[in-house]
């Protein structure tokens, strides 16, 4: 695309690509000088010019301007990046139905349900923490919400592969850092807001303000789908100019679940919408997943897929690895792997474990807390676990450059009288939980879900994944079916 098509009075330079990371700059790219929390993109202008970049978009003055390079000074580089990225890739979000889902917990589950069910009616892609996927293409995830260049490039690829819709996880970081400013959302879903990411946002109020941006920026023709049982529902409803519908269980909602029956392998409930009542049967378990399902069903219904047409596909929703994943290798006790890494998320998993664990049997939990992240929640983790568990095994969870034992000690400060031990190696901790479980006990492995990496001081290294470790340990140490070492 010509530079003159993107900026008035700009020279007739052909731009081959967009770049915000100097390390990835290529010949004939346009480079945006983004100011990050660690580095300022203005510092790398000379580096990218040596690589052949033909245009520099900057907000600070540039003293040494090179011949043959276009310099465009703007007030806000990020805002310009969003506008240009959408234009450069042909405004792909305008060519699909775009579902955006935000909230502390449930984003991955709601977006995955939308992708799977909506795809029975029209091809639907997904962008989030699990992967980037569309059609037969599955790519590893970038960030929960990628940068504006990757978002629009990915959506362009989706359009070219025939996608008619996309479900996008929208994180508070992505909203605060302006990564989705130019995405044309049709439906925005709010799951909930609880304690998380305060190391980045500072206060719960700032955290909420970041989430709210998805709804304040939602077009009038869009639909906001809000959790009626969350304390922030009224503030979000007042903040948006879009149409508003709600979903919930306790408070009156546009889409409401009644007569809920939750079992070990599935759930049933009555979905009330207006004067209609629908009997829903699903393989999803736990009360919080009823909320996630309601949010997804409401979003799709508001986008034109009638509830009665959705019902057959709710019976067997694809298992989302690492999200309330039941590990069944034939053992006589429950093993559940979940990504829960917030106080609210962990408590909901513990509540479900209590519901499915018979009296006289134990709940055993394995978890830690990420290094270089919100430290205030560590003691809270211990307090919550102590209320529900009979045994707690503390271990590493993306320690980065912190000592896992010190992190565990902070968690332990919240544990009252529950038996607990620290095992640094996560594999060994999971093995200990599996080996100590008796018939009808419940083992919870929390924090990392299906992630196959571990963040350490030197960066990211491979990790088997909690779900894979659990299966391996059950087969080898509980059932004696394997002889191989880890």
Q: What SS3 string covers the chain? A: CEHHHHCCCCCCCECCEEECCHHHCCCCEEEECCECCCCEHHHHHHHHHHCCCCEEEECCCCCCCCCCCEEEECCCHHHHHHHHHHHHCCCHHHHCEEEEEECCCCHHHHHHHHHHHHCCCCCEEEECCCCEEECCEEECCCCCCCCHHHHHHHHHHHHHCCCCEEEEECCHHHHHCCCCCCCCCCEEEECCCCCCCHHHHCCHHHHHHHHHHHHHCCCCCCEEEEECCCCCHHHHHHHCCCEEEEEECCCCCCEEEEEEEECCCCEEEEEEECCEEEEEEECCCCHHHHHHHHHHHHHHHHCCCCHHHHHHHHCCCCCCCCCCEECCCCCCCEEEEECCCCHHHHHHHHHHHHHHCCCCCCEEEEECCCCCCCCHHHHHHHHHHHHHCCEEEECCCCCECCCHHHHHHHHHCCCCCCEEEECCCHHHHHHHHHHHCCCCCEEEEECCCCCCEEEECCEEEECCCHHHHHHHHHHHHHCCCCCCCC
Q: What is the CATH number of domain 89-311?
A: 3.40.1190.10
Are residues 145 and 170 in contact, defined by beta-carbon separation less than 8 angstroms? yes
Q: Which of 335-344, 367-376, 451-460, 463-472 has the highest mean pLDDT?
A: 463-472
Tell me the average pLDDT of the chain.
92
Residue among 22, 2, 23 nearest 70 (CA): 2
Residue 353 has pLDDT above 80, yes or no: yes
Q: Is 360 left (phi over 0), alpha (psi -120 to 50) or beta?
A: left
d(CA 163, CA 165): 6
**pLDDT band at residue 297 under the 50/70/90 scheme:** very high
SS3 227: strand
Q: Over 50: is that where the pLDDT of 220 sits? A: yes
Query: What are the residue boundaries of the structural domains of the chain, listed by start?
Result: 1-86, 89-311, 323-477
Residue with more model confidence, 321 or 239:
239
Per-residue pLDDT at 201 exceeds 50: no
Give 383-421 pLDDT, tens digit per residue: 999 999 999 999 999 999 999 999 999 999 999 999 999
What would be the CATH architecture of the domain defined by 323-477? Answer: Alpha-Beta Complex (3.90)
Closest to 186 (Cα-Cα) out of 259, 254, 118: 118
Q: What is the mean pLDDT of residues 335-354?
A: 91
- Is 1-86 CATH 3.40.1390.10? yes
pLDDT in the model for residue 486: 44
Alpha helices in 172-250 (DSSP H): 172-176, 198-201, 204-216, 233-239
Give the pLDDT mean for 8-12: 91
Q: Which residues are annotated as a binding site?
A: 22, 103-109, 144-145, 171, 179
- H-helix segments, 303-342: 307-310
Interstrand relation of 391-394 and 363-367 (parallel, antiparallel or unpaired)? parallel
Q: Does residue 485 have a pLDDT over 50?
A: no
pTM exceeds 0.85: no
**Residues 68-95 pLDDT 10s:** 999 999 999 999 999 999 999 999 999 9
Map residue 419 onto helix, strand or coil.
strand
State the pLDDT at residue 205.
82
Binding residues for ATP: 103-109
**Tokens representing residue 104 in the block:** 């502390």
**386 forms bridges with which residues in the sheet?**
none
Region of poorest pLDDT, from 31-35, 120-124, 240-244: 31-35
Could you give the dihedral angle defined by the CA atoms of residues 455, 460, 464 and 467, in that order, rounded to the nearest 10 degrees? Answer: 50
Q: Which of 93-97, 137-141, 158-162 has the lowest mean pLDDT?
A: 137-141
Of the candidate ranges 70-74, 252-256, 342-346, the one whose mean pLDDT is the lowest: 342-346
Dist. CA 152–CA 134, nearest whole Å? 14
CB-based contact 267:289 (threshold 8 Å): yes
431 pLDDT above the threshold of 60: yes
């Amino acid at each position: 695309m010509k530079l003159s098509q993107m900026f008035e009075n700009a020279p007739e330079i052909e731009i081959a690509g967009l770049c915000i990371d100097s390390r990835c700059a290529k010949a004939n790219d346009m480079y945006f000088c983004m100011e990050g929390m660690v580095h300022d993109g203005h510092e790398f202008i000379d580096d990218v010019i040596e690589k052949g970049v033909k245009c520099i978009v900057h907000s600070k003055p540039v003293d040494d301007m090179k011949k043959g390079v276009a310099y465009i000074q703007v007030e806000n580089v990020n805002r310009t990046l969003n506008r240009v990225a959408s234009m450069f890739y042909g405004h792909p979000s305008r060519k699909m139905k775009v579902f955006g889902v935000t909230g502390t917990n449930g984003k991955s589950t709601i977006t995955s349900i939308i992708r799977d069910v909506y795809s029975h009616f029209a091809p639907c892609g997904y962008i989030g923490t699990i992967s980037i996927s569309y059609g037969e293409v599955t790519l590893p995830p970038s960030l929960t919400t990628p940068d504006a260049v990757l978002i629009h490039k990915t959506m362009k690829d989706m359009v070219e592969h025939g996608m008619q819709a996309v479900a996008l996880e929208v994180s508070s970081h992505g909203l605060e850092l302006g990564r989705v400013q130019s995405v044309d959302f049709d439906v925005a879903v709010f799951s909930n807001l609880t304690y998380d990411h305060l190391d980045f946002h500072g206060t719960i109020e700032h955290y909420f303000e970041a989430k709210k941006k998805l709804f304040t920026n939602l077009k009038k023709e869009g639909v906001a789908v809000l959790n009626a049982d969350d304390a922030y529902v009224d503030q979000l409803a007042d903040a948006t100019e879009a149409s508003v519908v709600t979903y919930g269980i306790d408070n009156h909602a546009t889409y409401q679940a009644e007569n809920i029956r939750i079992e070990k392998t599935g759930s049933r409930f009555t979905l009330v919408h207006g004067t209609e009542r629908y009997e829903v049967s699903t393989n999803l378990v736990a009360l919080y997943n009823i909320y996630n399902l309601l949010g997804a069903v409401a979003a799709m219904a508001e986008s034109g897929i009638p509830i009665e047409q959705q019902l057959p596909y709710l019976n067997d929703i694809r298992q989302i690895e690492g999200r309330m994943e039941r590990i069944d290798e034939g053992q006589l006790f429950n093993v559940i792997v979940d990504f829960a890494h917030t106080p609210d998320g962990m408590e909901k998993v513990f509540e479900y474990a209590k519901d499915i664990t018979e009296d006289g049997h134990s709940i055993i939990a394995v978890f830690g807390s990420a290094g270089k992240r919100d430290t205030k929640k560590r003691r809270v983790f211990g307090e919550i676990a102590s209320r529900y568990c009979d045994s707690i095994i503390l271990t590493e969870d993306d320690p980065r450059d912190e000592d896992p034992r010190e992190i565990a000690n902070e968690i332990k400060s919240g544990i009252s009288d529950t038996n607990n031990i620290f095992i640094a190696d996560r594999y060994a901790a999971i093995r200990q939980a599996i080996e100590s479980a008796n018939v009808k006990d419940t083992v919870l492995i929390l924090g990392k879900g299906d992630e196959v990496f571990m963040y350490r001081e030197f960066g990211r290294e491979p990790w088997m994944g909690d779900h894979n470790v659990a299966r391996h340990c059950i087969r080898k140490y509980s059932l004696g079916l394997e002889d191989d070492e880890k």
